[in-house]
Structure 1
């Protein structure tokens, strides 16, 4: 499992226009430069669960993911970054998709971001058969 920022505004690499036109108008979103966090989980066989989005909005509404991938889920907070509360919501989303149990556990590999080690998240995982394995941050040697 990992998170990444996804831009809400895509910049096209090529623009198609009529020959001879020297100026093109463009339509851009008001949210230019804002990012949504997407949390994804992929298994060793290449399977995946639908993504979990964290929007940079205090009030998330379900219609925001209405045209997203089937089964995706979302939340919102002021920063749009994964925090303790949103990670717990991701874990609930993960449980609904993977269906682990205390008897049939599931291993979830992730980085050691501070949001991943809250007491609420650890208790949820313990009670629902999710075993967390956190990798320490690696450093790059020149």
Structure 2
């Protein structure tokens, strides 16, 4: 059996090509479904629409979650201390959902922000950039909200003639809202659903999320300095400028 000395020698001989890396967690379902036949079939379906040479007619939409309470990080403490705390604006934060869409040319439609609640709150909407603000009991998107977002997409899309291709994941409000699907068909919006368990590789907006996550970190630093509940409009004012800039 190869031991530690063998590994050190092997690594030394291949130090120009090998390195120690921390792997990302990948579920067994994603590992199984991300294979060449499934990916080839997906791109063959894309070629059928014959609009790949028109980037302004290809949109991708995806959701992300935003929290008002920052995550805690490592701090310096005394050895033997039993308790170590960090003051935040709350122990648990409510999650807001943001549904955004960007086309391959960099044009984005006004995003939809979904807050948890039943009644509109003017404080949540104050200082927001061009955005559709909605409310749901869970803070997540549902069929009715997805239909309203589809109307928003048709109104603000860059392409004014011909068909528009919209790429979505298989989340149930996207694929089981008959009213939204019918409205899309009436307005020349063709919807293509990503193959199951492949969005981590095939979802274009997953790349933009890295920019949004950096903005979340900046916002969390601001919240860490307030030691109180910060109005949501402050949080949104920090997040959306970077979201708008990411389209380029």
- TM bin (shorter chain): 0.7 to 0.9
In terms of fraction of residues, the more strand-rich structure is 1
Q: Which has the higher contact order (CA 8 A, sep 6+)?
A: 2
TM superposition shift of 1:60: 3.1
1:72-115 per-residue CA deviation (whole Å, 9 max, x = no partner) reads 102111101111011111111212211656x5221111101110
Cα distance in 2, alignment partners of residues 60 and 116 from structure 1: 24
Cα distance in 2, alignment partners of residues 12 and 72 from structure 1: 30
What pairs with 1:53-64 in structure 2 (closer than 5 Å)? 53-61=113-121, 64=124
Aligned to 1:105: 163
Structure 2 counterpart of 1:78, from 131, 137, 147 = 137
Aligned to 1:94: 153
User: Please, which runs of 5 or more residues in structure 1 have no aligned partner?
Assistant: 14-24
TM superposition shift of 1:27: 6.4
What pairs with 1:31-42 in structure 2 (closer than 5 Å)? 32-42=92-102
Q: How many residues get paired?
A: 130
Cα distance in 2, alignment partners of residues 2 and 90 from structure 1: 12
TM superposition shift of 1:12: 8.7
Aligned alpha-carbon RMSD (Å)? 2.9
Query: How does the TM-score come out when normalised to structure 2?
Result: 0.45
Aligned to 2:173: 115
User: Please, which runs of 5 or more residues in structure 2 have no aligned partner?
Assistant: 1-60, 74-85, 201-248
Query: How does the TM-score come out when normalised to structure 1?
Result: 0.75
In terms of fraction of residues, the more helix-rich structure is 2
Cα distance in 2, alignment partners of residues 123 and 52 from structure 1: 20
Aligned to 1:45: 105
